[in-house]
Structure 1
Amino acid sequence: MTEETKDTNVQKEPVEEVQTEPTATEEVTDIEAEDSTQDEVEVDPIAVLEAEKEALEERVLRLQAEIANMQRINAKERQDAAKFRSQKLASELLDVVDNLERALQTETVSEDAAALKKGVEMVMTQLKSTFEREQIVVIDPIGEAFNPNFHQAVSVMPAAEGQASETVLTVLQKGYQLHERVLRPAMVIVAE
């Protein structure tokens, strides 16, 4: 039995040695990993700084582009504000112009009425010149194709022979536009 015990001990010893060898290898691997991590740590600050630099440069470019876009939008808004500054006043004056035109269509029988009509004509002339200066244009589309962006169809009538359908037959109330913006669409009767 002693021999068997010795054999078992002998067998146990190599097993123990085999078990301890991987532990030693693991320690060596851990030490090498720590060394390589230290090497990487030494290289990392430069790489990190370069990455940060690239990120900051990209951010600067984006911010510069954003500033340029904001400046362009701001300039466009200022230009539009200047272009359409008279829109509200012009819209309110359209009814006044309509009434003055109706006053000019009346017939005068007395000298006083003729003098009054002459005064209304002078006011109307001044208003028209002011509208021209501000680039307020009359929309008077008789015979043109109906365009819902510029015309408001009030009624529809059968088209006369030789006349295209969906054309403006009669203008009931003139329309006006300021530059490309419609102040008031023309009220029209359209051919069907």
Structure 2
Amino acid sequence: MSEEINEEMIQEEQATETTQASTEDMVEEVEEVIELSKEEELEVKVNELEDQLLRVQAEMINMRNRNQKEREQAARYRSQDLAKELLPAIDNLERALETEVTDENGESLKKGVEMVRDSLLNALKSAGVETIPALNEVFDPNLHQAVQTMPASEEQAVDQIIHELQKGYKLHDRVLRPSMVIVAQ
């Protein structure tokens, strides 16, 4: 019997050793899986952070470009408000030039008014302000404001501007004031 007990004990010890070995193997496998999942998790996190970095860099570039464009627009159209303020004065000078004068003093005064008007127009032109051509042009609602229509005569085409009531002006490609016109219909 003692041999049987010894044999049972030996078998139990062997079973325990086998169980411990398989348990150790299982623990090692679980640790490897945990390490792999941590590596994968870290890799996913790194990929997310790289994507965020690229997006932030792209947003910074877009913001820099947008600011640059806004600065260029501000510089290009900086004289817009001043030009709008001067247009009524130029209109008044042109009305003054339309008056008939009969004496030499009137002619001298008219010449002075013309010089003032020309110097204002030259200053505006150097800032990029131009008059909008209107007379005998085809009506363009983006540049002209039709105040009246008249029947077209034989030498006039339909939608042709036959009279300009007030000059229009534009700054580069931006209309400051449309031309007030009469259009043939």
Q: TM-score, normalised by structure 2?
A: 0.80
Alignment of 1:1-192 (within 5 A): 38-192=31-185
Q: Secondary structure at the match of 2:110?
A: helix
Q: AA paired with 2:48? A: A
Instruction: Note the C-alpha offset of 1:35.
Output: 7.2
Change over 3 Å in CA distance of 1:143–1:85 after alignment to 2: same
Counterpart-to-counterpart distance in 2, 1:183 and 1:33:
82
Judge conservation of contact 1:140–1:171 (CA < 8 Å) in 2: no
Q: Which moved more, 1:142-151 or 1:103-112?
A: 103-112
Change over 3 Å in CA distance of 1:37–1:162 after alignment to 2: farther
Q: AA paired with 2:105? A: D
Q: Secondary structure at the match of 1:149?
A: coil
Counterpart-to-counterpart distance in 1, 2:33 and 2:153:
90
Counterpart-to-counterpart distance in 2, 1:163 and 1:75:
47
Aligned residues: 161
Deviations 1:116-165 (A, max 9, x none): 22221221121111011011010131222111111101011111125321
Change over 3 Å in CA distance of 1:33–1:166 after alignment to 2: farther
Q: Secondary structure at the match of 1:141?
A: coil
1:24 is aligned to none
Judge conservation of contact 1:141–1:168 (CA < 8 Å) in 2: yes
Counterpart-to-counterpart distance in 2, 1:143 and 1:108:
29
Change over 3 Å in CA distance of 1:34–1:153 after alignment to 2: farther
User: Which segments of 5 or more consecutive residues in structure 2 lack a partner in the other structure?
Assistant: 1-24
Counterpart-to-counterpart distance in 1, 2:110 and 2:126:
24
Identity in percent: 48
Q: Secondary structure at the match of 2:134?
A: coil
Instruction: Note the C-alpha offset of 1:105.
Output: 1.6
Counterpart-to-counterpart distance in 1, 2:174 and 2:28:
74
Q: AA paired with 1:134? A: A
Coordinate RMSD, CA, aligned: 1.9
Judge conservation of contact 1:86–1:134 (CA < 8 Å) in 2: yes
Change over 3 Å in CA distance of 1:164–1:36 after alignment to 2: farther
User: Which segments of 5 or more consecutive residues in structure 1 lack a partner in the other structure?
Assistant: 1-31
Instruction: Note the C-alpha offset of 1:106.
Output: 1.5
